[in-house]
Structure 1
């Protein structure tokens, strides 16, 4: 099986840790380690936080963690046309088929990348992600049934667009990250896509930490104390990991935490990751550490009372898995279908839907015995369902289907 060549296509790679990019990067690296011929085609745009119509990285070929990465210049026209449609989406205005195509045609794209894929990936398993970006739409249209998709679906306006239906219809394979994502797709597209959609695999995302947190904790490693001092971590804190973005329900999280503080709560909310730092209050009880090295991230998470992710739209939520492997429980929003399902299946976290429920959950996680019990259940869930061997077996089962 190792003779198969695999090409991943994603708008950003190597310097940005968004969900789809992490899914692509970790799977590519694991397949490469197992001897597969793997490459990634991506753009010269560094991250979603850079201008999508400007090249912030040089074109060319590099090797990142053993994986060949080819970067191509972005399309530099169409920014205003894209923002015209994005304004309509943000303000809940109608987005008809004309605007849907306008959005995808002027989102981040690279004709040079698509031309390369057309000419150089015959016989490859080509997989594009995520479905919301013009690059992936162009790839699937151009390769005419040769490219597969790992869509990373959420229940959002774009999910129901004609352009999404076109991508699913013309994809060779469809790879889902969770059962909930697949159920959503079948509910809306099952009648039109049919059996191919219903039989598409759910592969998940493999999760392994690069350091042995449990061993460090048992040995009272100086690393744990050193990170506390270096980052000025408070004695009691909860952690949010990810992009600081209104779309991630950050404002609700902050409001809930302020309510908790007003009722005498004495823990701090620590933020890790990029995004809009202006969203984080500067008053006592909030601490934004921004981006930190990967090892530092896990050392910080492992000392928190719990991880909080109130986003409604997650196609997998890697941070939940990482928190459980770090030995801490989680709090999610009940409206987050995927994250709530993870918590119910694992018994490793608490879904909430109000400030009162949030405060009650913080109190439960603040109890060392109850928090550890939830964390142990979550860790067992990750280790049984999301080992890399399990994920890669599912991946190839889907790739060789039909």
Structure 2
């Protein structure tokens, strides 16, 4: 189509796991009727290695042109050494820059493209503050850059190298009020034009818990987790809390069903069922039937699958130490937060013994998503942000 042009820059794109990547793809799909849109990304699907497993060059995803630039070197085998140097007391700015290069995805051709052709686009939308393409790409096109930071409290965000990422763009699109407050507190960048945008949730009308149970052999009540299974997602703590609860209270015969790719070993314990990655329909069927959805991660700027659980009318159990998830659960009136294994057990028993409470929390969650995370509102907010970028460029 003709009209304003938009380049979306993201570390991975297409059929890849990852919340930020799914977020980027869904935004591209919704904005494509309004812009002449392209995507600039890498030829990797694995954020742990950045192996170039896709063909570099022009591609198309969902009818949108995608420019895949080669990752010139994989994540450094001694990446943890660079990480320790960057996070230690008394480190230098060079240590921080070496950490960003080593973390990857190291794709200098993508930066060269932004330097030579970035100003041909009316706007450049960057996803995820922490990675090489965003850190080094925003300074090349700051006057037309909009950042979706997907930021949360972690060691990296305290590095000085990230200061320009939050001060240079023309505008910032935050996911939640909690994320914005955290960024303002750390960077004092309130002057940068911003909105809380988030993402919309599409809920299929056909959600069948019985179909999920029959297909995957799930009997009895179950807790559900969907997403990457790894240390950074709080998976080990979830396993320990679940096993401790089940050992102390065998009367509650409840499964813990895991959906997603595992980066760590999953305990071969009675009650823990790992189904791997599932089709979208199976995921929604699983959400429809769960006693509660569990999200143990502390490092979230927004959890799409938590919003999906609420949209499906199910209650959510979150770790109280996560400012974003605990804050959203409180604002939505749709979840319960735990501190430690004892409270995790108490919440699980409460929701299992009082299913009407879970249903009531789930209805509150569905209302919250319906008010806040809808595509018409998200698209309208992006259109307003981009119109402001164009107006300031023309001034």
TM-score of the superposed pair, with normalisation by structure 2: 0.91
Given the alignment of the two structures, is residue 397 of structure 1 paired with residue 394 of structure 2, yes or no?
A: no
Instruction: Specify the alignment match of 1:235 in structure 2.
Output: 220
Helix, strand or coil at the partner of 2:239: helix
Alignment-derived partner of residue 220 in structure 1:
none
Cα 1:162/1:277, change in 2 over 3 Å: closer
Structure 1 residue runs without a partner (length 5+):
218-223
Select 1:212's aligned residue among 184, 205, 216: 205
Q: Does 1:276 align with 2:276?
A: no
Using the TM superposition, name which of 76-85 and 334-343 deviates more.
76-85
For 2:12 and 2:364, how far apart are their aligned partners in 1?
34
Q: Shift of the alpha carbon at 1:194?
A: 4.7
- Structure 2 CA distance for partners of 1:97 and 1:118, relative to 1, 3 Å: closer
Residue 302 of structure 1 aligns to a residue whose secondary structure is helix
Report the RMSD for the aligned CA atoms in angstroms. Answer: 2.0
Question: What is the TM-score when the length of structure 1 is the normalising length?
Answer: 0.90
Cα distance between partner residues in 1 of 2:11 and 2:293: 28
Pair 315,383 (structure 1): closer, same or farther in 2 beyond 3 Å: same
Superposition pairs of residues 1-400 of structure 1, within 5 angstroms? 3-32=3-32, 34-49=33-48, 51-52=49-50, 54-76=51-73, 79-80=76-77, 82-88=79-85, 93-94=88-89, 95-106=91-102, 107-121=104-118, 122-190=120-188, 193-196=189-192, 199-209=193-203, 211-213=204-206, 216=207, 224-262=209-247, 263-264=249-250, 265-278=252-265, 280-366=266-352, 367-400=354-387
Secondary structure at the counterpart of residue 164 of structure 2: helix
Instruction: State which drifts further: 234-243 or 389-398.
Output: 389-398
What's the CA shift for 1:2?
A: 7.5
Residue pair 1:73, 1:110 contacting (<8 A) in 2 also: yes
Matched residue of 1:313: which SS? coil
1:298 alignment partner, SS class: helix
Stretches of structure 2 lacking an aligned partner (at least 5 in a row): none
Distance in 2 (alpha carbons) for counterparts of 1:281 and 1:15 = 28
CA distance in 2, matches of 1:399, 1:275: 38
> Conserved in 1, the CA contact under 8 Å of 2:221 and 2:253?
yes
Deviation at 1:277, TM superposition (A): 4.6
> How many residue pairs were aligned?
383
* DSSP-derived class of the 1:200 partner: strand
